[in-house]
């Protein structure tokens, strides 16, 4: 339960942080889609740990292997198996967390639900699971590109209270990747990178937000009522570990406007209407309107910090928890960029299969 996403284009993931590996089964990808393993690997590389001094120093090659469903570079229409093996697992690093649940991590809740927990680390709750989603999402993206030229770009919009100014219409992945923090606004990126190093050196962590734009999505995709396109996007984004909020279009800021300021006037001819503004974020009534889909997601400061924390152990005894050995991200947003893109691609691929 809970490890599958989508209906027409369905992905199921498996694997734990410190086990043999993680992977995905993709069911429902049409036949004859050209598959570039290099493009899948490129997205996996943007997610993998140890990319820069801003991320965890766990070293993983995160090499994606295609096990089934692809022949001579094209999908067969049968289930596609994707595998990412773990090499740098160090279960011993988590000695301290065996006795006390980490505050704001998933140790306590997993134990409550299953009565047992993975021998170390976050198990399924670890961001390691997202390596599988990124591989599946990169595949979904190739299907969407070939279907109608869909383009998905996410970037870091803020770290702590440091915001940025980025043109949502023109930003590219190459722009985003010019900086380790993955914010294409150079002045903001300088400040964000300095802030992440500062909290890291203090044994602490910090949160941030991402923006994402999906371009060339045709009008008319999505189901009304419970499966509205924005509802599926919200579910997809909030399923990412540490994601705490989702907003589409004007989001919370729209609540401060009047309808006369907020409405998106229609423009264009009878065959192809557009809108002159995009406060709706590309979706109206749960159905895409042909404008770019624009949304923002928020990530909390990661829970595992090396500063001592006053808490209690599993028996309720007061303890000072200090995680000194594990390797952790001081801020998840730079690595969350390809994960958000992958989840957006999985939602759109699922919508595409339902049109
Ligand atoms: C890319 C990425 C990296 C993460 N790295 C860490 C980490 O190093 N340490 C940590 O405690 N949490 C990390 N997290 C978040 C935890 O996996 C998550 O907070 C935990 O599973 C509890 O789930 P919740 O925050 O969604 O409630 C990471 C999340 C993402 C998306």
DSSP state of 315: T
- Ligand 1 centroid to residue 199 C-alpha, Å: 16
Q: Is the CB of 304 under 6 A from ligand 1?
A: yes
The Cα–Cα gap between 76 and 214 comes to 27
Beta bridge partners of 66: 82
Q: Which ligand 1 atom is nearest residue 299's CA?
A: 31
Is 221 buried (19+), middle (13-18) or exposed (0-12) by CB count in 10 A?
buried
- Reported in sequence order, the residue ranges of the chain that DSSP labels E, i.e. its strands, are 4-5, 10-14, 21-27, 64-66, 70-71, 74-75, 80-85, 151-159, 208-215, 243-248, 266-268, 273-275, 283-284, 287-288, 293-299, 309-312, 318-321
Q: Is the CB of 332 under 6 A from ligand 1?
A: yes
Domains of the chain, CATH where assigned: 91-354 (3.60.150.10)
CB 331 within 8 A of CB 197: no
pLDDT at 325: 64
- Ligand 1 centroid to residue 299 C-alpha, Å: 9
Mutate to test the pocket of ligand 1, among 44, 93, 207, 242 (most ligand atoms within 8 A of CB): 242
- Ligand 1 centroid to residue 134 C-alpha, Å: 15
Q: Is the CB of 126 under 6 A from ligand 1?
A: yes
Q: Is the CB of 240 under 6 A from ligand 1?
A: yes
pLDDT at 120: 55
- Ligand 1 centroid to residue 71 C-alpha, Å: 35
Contacts of 165 (CB under 8 A, 6+ apart): 185, 188
Q: Which ligand 1 atom is nearest residue 126's CA?
A: 17
pLDDT at 96: 42
What is the pTM for the complete model shown? 0.96
Q: Is the CB of 340 under 6 A from ligand 1?
A: no
Q: Is the CB of 241 under 6 A from ligand 1?
A: yes
pLDDT at 98: 61
State the sign of the Cα–Cα–Cα–Cα dihedral 10, 15, 16, 18: negative
Written as tens digits, the pLDDT of the chain (355 aa) is 799 999 999 999 999 887 899 999 999 999 999 999 999 999 999 999 999 999 887 778 899 999 999 999 999 999 999 999 988 766 555 544 468 999 999 999 999 999 886 655 578 899 999 999 999 999 999 999 999 999 999 999 999 999 999 999 999 999 999 999 999 999 999 999 999 999 999 999 999 999 999 999 999 999 999 999 999 999 999 999 999 999 999 999 999 999 999 999 999 876 789 999 999 999 999 999 999 999 999 999 999 999 999 999 999 999 999 887 657 899 999 999 999 999 999 999 999 998 7
Q: Is the CB of 242 under 6 A from ligand 1?
A: yes
Q: Which ligand 1 atom is nearest residue 105's CA?
A: 22
Mutate to test the pocket of ligand 1, among 49, 84, 127 (most ligand atoms within 8 A of CB): 127
- Ligand 1 centroid to residue 171 C-alpha, Å: 27
Atom 28 of ligand 1, nearest CA residue: 127
């Amino acid at each position: 339960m809970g490890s599958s996403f989508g209906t027409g284009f369905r992905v199921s993931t498996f694997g734990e942080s410190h086990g043999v590996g993680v992977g995905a089964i993709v069911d429902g990808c049409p036949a004859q889609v050209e598959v570039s393993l290099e493009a899948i690997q490129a997205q996996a590389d943007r997610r993998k740990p140890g990319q820069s001094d801003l991320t965890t120093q766990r070293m993983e090659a995160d090499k994606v292997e295609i096990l089934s469903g692809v022949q001579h570079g094209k999908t067969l229409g049968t289930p596609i198996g994707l595998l990412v093996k773990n090499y740098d697992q160090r279960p011993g690093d988590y000695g301290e967390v065996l006795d006390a649940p980490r505050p704001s991590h998933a140790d306590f809740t997993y134990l409550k639900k299953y009565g047992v927990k993975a021998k170390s680390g976050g198990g399924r709750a670890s961001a390691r699971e997202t390596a599988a989603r990124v591989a599946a999402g990169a595949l979904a993206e190739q299907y969407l590109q070939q279907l109608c030229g869909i383009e998905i770009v996410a970037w870091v919009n803020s770290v702590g209270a440091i915001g940025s100014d980025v043109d949502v219409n023109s930003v590219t992945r190459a722009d985003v990747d010019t900086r380790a923090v993955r914010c294409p606004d150079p002045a903001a990126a300088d400040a964000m990178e300095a802030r992440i190093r500062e909290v890291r050196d203090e044994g602490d962590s910090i949160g941030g937000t991402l923006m994402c734009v999906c371009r060339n999505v045709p009008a008319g995709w999505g189901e009304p009522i419970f499966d509205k396109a924005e509802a599926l996007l919200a579910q997809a984004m909030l399923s990412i570990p540490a994601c705490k909020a989702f907003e589409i279009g004007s989001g919370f800021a729209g609540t401060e406007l009047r309808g006369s300021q907020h409405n998106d006037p229609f423009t264009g001819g009878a065959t192809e209407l557009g809108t002159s503004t995009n406060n709706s974020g590309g979706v109206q009534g749960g159905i895409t309107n042909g404008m770019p889909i624009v949304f923002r997601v928020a990530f909390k400061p990661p829970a595992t910090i090396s500063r001592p924390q006053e808490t209690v152990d599993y028996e309720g005894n007061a303890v000072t928890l200090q995680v000194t050995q594990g390797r952790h991200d001081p801020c998840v947003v730079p690595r969350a960029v390809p994960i958000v893109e992958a989840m957006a691609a999985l939602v759109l691929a699922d919508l595409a299969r339902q049109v």
